[in-house]
Amino acid sequence: MATIPTAIADVVVPVRPLLLDQVEELQKLQKAAQKITSILDLDPLIDNIVNDVARSFGCVEAGIYLHDEERGEMVLAGVHGCSVNHKGHRLKIGKEGMVGYVASTGQMRYAPDVRKDEYYIGCEHDTLSEVVIPLRVGEHLVGVFTASHPELDAFPRQQLRILQALCDHVAVAVHNARRFQSERAEREAMSREAEEARVMQQALLPKGSPYIPGLVISGLSVPVGAVGGDWYDFIPFPDGRWGLVLADVSGKGTAAALLMSATRGMLRSLAEACCSPGEVLTKLNSLLVEDFPAGKFVTLVYAVLDPATRTVIFANAGHLHPLFIDDRGTQFLDTECGLPLGLSCGGYSETTIALSPGSRLVFYSDGITEAVNADEQEYGLERLAQHAVNAEASAVSIVDDVRAFANGSGVRDDATVVFVGVKR
């Protein structure tokens, strides 16, 4: 069996101790890296690097140029100790200065005597040495870091290595901050657009309820998000009758709101031609079958209220059955035929009801009946009927009752109600 010679086995490889100044530099690096990687806002991050961090590493002047990919330029985003160049100063990549050179090559460039460097562009008159380090994340150029000093060869090799290590952290921090800034700007733009859409959508809803002696009519629509696919409408006719509409477009958000707006405009145009509810929905459906994207549809109840005869004629395009309450009790009104709008061509049957003193007629969306409480119980049709029979019931009171039932967190869809009550 082979043995290891004693002389070799006893050899001890000496560990080279770190010098005190090297330990201090590494501690500075660690502290600086922790600080800059915790900042997500781009401007404060860059200001921190060129001021606090750069100064702690002995850089009398420091700056960060960011890469403008569209224009092929480097843009000064932060500077410390320089009175000549200011934020916004631009240099062409590959053409201007040490910054342009480093941006094009991706390699650090150190000029121990700037007077002898062919790429150096004069800045402060007393600058004698300068280092420019690329800021890269993988193959992606983020920017460059510059540091200069009024002494010749002011950056020893050890400090250059430390600065390069620091710039690895700076590159990642700046890259993340720019992404954060871009994503925040996108979110803010989307939020503004959503708010504008909400305002426009609310403007399409009725400004008030019809005033008809002996009747109490109200409507309310509460989107679950900024915009929604529910809507209701009151359409006045020259002969004193009123069109009543409640609809729910499939989907949510902006797409549903756009389809809602288009459907509303078409329905109003057809209703003003004084057609019956069934005819209006048949013609509207033909238009939507041609125009709607595949898989999109609208459920809708359209009724014509005649105050003179106290009658309501309605047609239902696949929507929830209207609730009707009178002296005979509570019933949910069905119709013979009526598919949701936009799916396929077909006709729509009509139902006529007579309003009597104390009667109630309620159109509602599934955001009302499908709202749930903490025990995952749905509000449901029975609770809706129990509330609607109250003498003080209205569209607002129904929505408030649903919200109270759901305790503010169980309303999962747009909630819309149209309420018609007859005074005794």
Is 211 a residue whose pLDDT tops 90? yes
The 10s digit of each residue's pLDDT in 50-104 is 887 777 777 788 999 999 999 999 999 999 888 888 899 999 999 999 999 999 9
The C-alpha atoms of residue 190 and residue 184 are separated, in whole angstroms, by: 10
Determine the length of the chain: 424
DSSP string, 75-108: EEEEEES-SS--TT-EEETTTSHHHHHHHHH-S-
Is 407 a residue whose pLDDT tops 80? yes
DSSP 8-state assignment for residue 250: S
In sequence order, the β-bridge partners of residue 304 are 243, 313
* Cβ-based neighbours of 40, under 8 Å, separated by 6 or more: 176, 177, 180
Q: Give the pLDDT of residue 268.
A: 92
Which pLDDT band, with edges at 50, 70 and 90, does 1 fall under?
Answer: very low
Mutual orientation of helices 253-271 and 277-291 as an angle, nearest 10°? 140
Average pLDDT estimate for 184-196: 80
Tell which residue, 142, 138, 176, 159, has the closest CA to residue 37. 176
Q: Can you give the pTM of this predicted structure?
A: 0.64
Is 6 a residue whose pLDDT tops 60? no
Is 251 a residue whose pLDDT tops 90? no
Which pLDDT band, with edges at 50, 70 and 90, does 256 fall under?
Answer: confident
CB 98 within 8 A of CB 109: yes
Q: Give the pLDDT of residue 321.
A: 96
Question: φ and ψ at 324, to 5 degrees?
Answer: -125, 130
The first and second tokens of residue 234, run together, are 């009151």
The first and second tokens of residue 121, run together, are 């562009």
The 10s digit of each residue's pLDDT in 306-358 is 999 999 999 999 999 999 999 999 999 988 888 999 988 888 999 999 999 99
Average pLDDT estimate for 151-179: 90
- What integer best gives the mean pLDDT of the chain? 87
Q: Give the pLDDT of residue 9.
A: 39
**For the chain, how far is it from start to end, CA to CA, in angstroms?**
114
Q: Which long-range contacts (CB under 8 A, 24 or more apart) does 102-105 make?
A: 102/132, 102/133, 102/134, 102/144, 103/65, 103/67, 103/74, 103/134, 103/141, 103/144, 105/134
A 10 A CB-CB count for 263 gives 24
Which pLDDT band, with edges at 50, 70 and 90, does 205 fall under?
Answer: confident
* Cβ-based neighbours of 78, under 8 Å, separated by 6 or more: 43, 46, 47, 49, 50, 63, 64, 87
The C-alpha atoms of residue 254 and residue 237 are separated, in whole angstroms, by: 31
Helix (H) or strand (E) holding 194, with range, is: helix 157-204
Range in 9-18, 54-63, 111-120, 355-364 the model is least confident about:
9-18
DSSP 8-state assignment for residue 294: T
Enumerate helices (H) and strands (E) in the chain, giving the number of each.
11, 16
Helix (H) or strand (E) holding 375, with range, is: none
Is 49 a residue whose pLDDT tops 50? yes
Q: Give the pLDDT of residue 27.
A: 66
The 10s digit of each residue's pLDDT in 265-321 is 999 999 988 689 999 999 999 999 888 878 789 999 999 999 999 999 999 999 999
